[in-house]
Amino acid sequence: MKKEEIFDIIKTVKYPGFSRNIVDFGMVKDIEKRADGWSIRLKVISQDEQKLENLRQQVIKAMSEKGESVSQVVIDTASSQQERHQNAGEPKEKNPFDDQKQFEYADNVVAIASGKGGVGKSTIAANLSLALAKQGKTVGLLDLDVYGPSIPTLFGVTHVPQSDDDHTIYPAEKYGIQVLSLGFFIEQDSPVIWRGPLVMKLVTQFLNDVVWKPMDILVIDLPPGTGDVQLSLVQQLKLDGAIIITTPQDLALADVKRSANMFGKVNTPILGIIENMSYFKCPSCGKESYIFGKGGGERESQRLNVPLLGRLPLDESIMMASDTGCPIVESLADSPSAKIFGEIATSLIKSFQTNKDKKQWEP
């Protein structure tokens, strides 16, 4: 058998407790043909010996059922890699991003970011989540915009999610999407004034103490800029990518560069740019007016060598739908703006699949 066929066999092995297979999780790091059978190397975060042995036996069983012999199944954990470095006399320098973890409840995690406020980031995060759900994906939306949490308003959810105790939170659900926001836990119209350590603690709690249902995609709405929330998030959680929201004018584009540079430094790929408020289309004559300039998002996408995922108009119906707690993708599904969100969702799903295929064949 060829190496590619062995990957297909191992794809039948599910990670214990999950419906997702270990290839799609990115746990298969190397496959080598030896004289006495196949050598398979996995990389797993878990330190649970029983779970690791269960995984090893599943791999051996899957291979034997296809008539393939296995010489060894080596499972690397974080501790085993560190031990090899120490045994080899190599100093191990602590990288702040070494502790990134795969989000266990979602196959893909995407951050929605912007360099500055007021560009419609949260509105886009809400509508994109709904557009993904309408294409058959199970979706969660995590609002980490601690200084201006607007997802509760956009979804019309005001009640505090269920909680068993002080350390277990269950997301709310609306329109088939799991939703969690700081806005659920603070009084309406109360100012949010947080220092860095408190912000980092909040991010940690939202990542570790929330019981999500398994989902295909988690969308994370970040605050604008490149501050504590963004850094805390990328230190703890491995992101599949980020989408940057901008408007066409030069002032917004300057902030896009700062956001892109930040994500580049933490090895988070930019999946694309969405240009919001690109133009105003006259409802009477159909003429397009470029109130904030023209072509800025496209020029920036070319500079970063990433796709321009979509251009959204300055549309009164988007604002009105948002204020009612029923975003336009849900309330006016056949509108031109809702269809643009659908096209962006299609592009995002394809990019996830492309990236997954690339990871599968990484040595």
334 pLDDT exceeds 80?
A: yes
Q: Is the pLDDT of residue 12 over 80?
A: yes
CA distance 29 to 15: 15
For the cut 60, the answer to whether the pLDDT of residue 194 exceeds it is: no
What is the SS3 assignment for 296-341?
HHHHHHHHHCCCEEEECCCCHHHHHHHHCCCCHHHHCCCCHHHHHH
Q: What is the pLDDT of residue 85?
A: 45
Give pTM, 2 decimals.
Answer: 0.70
Q: Which among 356, 351, 348 has a CA at the least distance from the CA of 129?
A: 348
Q: How far, in Å, CA of 70 to CA of 67, rounded?
A: 10
Rounded Cα distance, 77 and 43, in Å: 6
Q: What is the pLDDT of residue 283?
A: 84
CB within 8 Å of 10: residues ≥ 6 apart: 21, 22, 23, 28, 31, 40, 59, 62, 63
Residue type, 45: I
Region 5-27: mean pLDDT is 81
Which pLDDT band, with edges at 50, 70 and 90, does 208 fall under?
confident
Neighbouring-strand partners of residue 218: 109, 140
**CA within 13 Å, CB half, 238:** 14
pLDDT interval class at 363 (50, 70, 90): very low
Q: Is the pLDDT of residue 14 over 80?
A: yes
Strand order in the sheet with 70-76: 28-34, 37-43, 70-76
**Domains along the chain with CATH numbers:** 3-87 (3.30.300.130), 106-360 (3.40.50.300)
Distance between CA atoms of residues 8 and 325, nearest Å: 44
Give the model confidence (pLDDT) of 239-281 as tens digits.
899 999 998 877 667 778 778 888 877 778 899 999 999 999 8
Looking at residues 176-188, what average pLDDT do you find?
82
What pLDDT does residue 81 have?
47
Tell which residue, 262, 258, 200, has the closest CA to residue 232: 200
Q: What residue type is 97 in one-letter code?
A: F
215-221 and 288-289 beta bridge pairing: unpaired
Average pLDDT across the chain, whole number? 82
Instruction: Note the pLDDT of residue 177.
Output: 96
| Burial of 305: CB neighbours in 10 Å, binned 0-12, 13-18, 19+ | exposed
- Whether the pLDDT of residue 155 is over 80: the answer is yes
Separation between Cα atoms, residue 44 and residue 32, nearest integer Å: 18
Task: Reply yes or no on whether the pLDDT at 95 is more than 60.
Answer: no
User: In this model, does residue 218 exceed pLDDT 60?
Assistant: yes
Q: How many whole angstroms separate alpha carbon 256 and alpha carbon 262?
A: 10
* CB contact set of 243 (below 8 Å; sequence gap of 6+): 110, 111, 112, 113, 128, 270, 271, 272, 273, 274, 309, 348
* Cα–Cα distance, 285 to 287 (Å, whole number): 6
